[in-house]
């Protein structure tokens, strides 16, 4: 399959969210372009986004209202991750309602996010929350800013991070470290503090020094919902060393 065939496939109208992202992010079309406006208008009407919202509850949650994290991959948190990668933002009221519920209930007192909202922040949940909320239009929300600061504070000495030993000065695990880096990859650099810049430098070096991880090995160990975050991180690293 050549490049033009791939682009034509991505531009098919049965998935307007993918068509919109292809037009804007791959082909560089401006928001005022007629094709871009048409694709954006249809995002809620056709395809994956329509299917996802068909299962949203009146409260703004998915699956049930009691817990926004569980069950994994079908509850509110996971749907927000997917919607953020499909080009949705808080301009859509149903997205705003779900996002603000997540912020209200799952931001932790120490500045991060967790799967319960009651304990301290959890690395994977904080990294993924920060990334999704930036893309959903909440980059200036104080809870989002504090999530990035939490990531910096909980980075291990060598630059890695881990779901299982976050907050402790250990080496971290490569597969966990991509989540905070993917968050910084979408956070405008003019908003980075010096400590954030240094954390990204350490995180990038942590990945690059462990280049014996093949792409296949990493992707095989990631769930589908994380593949786009991983690709974002790889692009971020490429830009960093270029």
pLDDT, residue 139, reads: 97
pLDDT, residue 222, reads: 40
Claim to verify: residue 154 and residue 133 sit in the same structural domain: yes
Residues 62, 12: Cα–Cα separation, whole Å: 28
pLDDT, residue 232, reads: 58
Claim to verify: residue 23 and residue 62 sit in the same structural domain: no
Claim to verify: residue 157 and residue 214 sit in the same structural domain: yes
The answer to whether 160 and 171 have CB atoms below 8 angstroms apart is yes
Q: Which residue did the predictor score with more confidence, 241 or 20?
A: 20
Q: What is the 3-state secondary structure (H, E, C) of 171-213?
A: CCEHHHHHHHHHHHHHCCHHHCCHHHHHHHHHHHHHHHCCCCC
Claim to verify: residue 208 and residue 108 sit in the same structural domain: yes
Claim to verify: residue 180 and residue 218 sit in the same structural domain: yes
Query: H/E element holding 71?
Result: none
Q: Residues 84-123: pLDDT tens digits?
A: 999 999 999 999 999 999 999 999 999 999 999 888 899 8
* pLDDT mean across residues, the chain: 84
Claim to verify: residue 24 and residue 102 sit in the same structural domain: no
pLDDT, residue 82, reads: 93
For the ranges 148-152, 187-191, 218-222, 229-233, which has the lowest average pLDDT?
Answer: 218-222
What domain count does the chain have?
2
Residues 67, 97: Cα–Cα separation, whole Å: 15
DSSP notation for 112-167? SB-SSSSSS--HHHHHHHHHHHHHTT-TT-HHHHHHHHHHHHT--TTS-B-TTTTT
Claim to verify: residue 235 and residue 209 sit in the same structural domain: yes
pLDDT, residue 229, reads: 57
pLDDT, residue 136, reads: 97
Span 18-47, average pLDDT: 94
Q: Which residue did the predictor score with more confidence, 81 or 173?
A: 81
Claim to verify: residue 39 and residue 61 sit in the same structural domain: no
Cβ contacts of 116 within 8 Å, gap of 6 or more: 69, 106
Domain region containing 74: 52-241
Span 129-133, average pLDDT: 96
CATH number, position 231: 1.50.10.20
Claim to verify: residue 168 and residue 140 sit in the same structural domain: yes
Give pTM, 2 decimals.
0.84
For helices 227-241 and 174-186, the axis angle rounded to 10 degrees is 70
Claim to verify: residue 1 and residue 64 sit in the same structural domain: no
**Count of CB atoms within 10 A of residue 43's CB?**
24
Claim to verify: residue 90 and residue 195 sit in the same structural domain: yes
């Amino acid at each position: 399959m050549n490049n033009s065939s791939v682009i034509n496939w991505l531009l098919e109208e049965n998935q307007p969210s993918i068509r919109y992202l292809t037009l804007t992010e791959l082909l560089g079309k401006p928001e005022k372009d007629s094709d871009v406006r048409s694709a954006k208008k249809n995002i809620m009407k056709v395809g994956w986004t329509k299917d996802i919202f068909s299962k949203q509850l009146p409260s703004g949650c998915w699956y049930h209202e009691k817990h926004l994290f569980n069950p994994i991959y079908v509850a509110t948190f996971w749907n927000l991750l997917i919607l953020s990668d499909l080009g949705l933002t808080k301009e859509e009221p149903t997205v705003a309602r779900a996002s603000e519920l997540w912020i209200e209930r799952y931001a932790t007192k120490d500045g991060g996010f967790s799967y319960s909202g009651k304990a301290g922040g959890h690395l994977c949940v904080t990294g993924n929350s920060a990334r999704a909320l930036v893309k959903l239009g909440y980059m200036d929300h104080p809870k989002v800013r504090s999530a990035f600061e939490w990531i910096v504070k909980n980075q291990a000495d060598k630059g890695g991070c881990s779901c299982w030993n976050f907050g402790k000065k250990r080496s971290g695990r490569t597969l966990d470290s991509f989540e905070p880096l993917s968050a910084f990859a979408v956070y405008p650099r003019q908003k980075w503090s010096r400590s954030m810049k240094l954390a990204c430098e350490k995180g990038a070096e942590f990945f690059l020094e462990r280049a014996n991880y093949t792409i296949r090995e990493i992707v095989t160990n990631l769930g589908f919902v994380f593949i786009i975050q991983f690709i974002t991180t790889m692009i971020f690293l490429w830009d960093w060393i270029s």
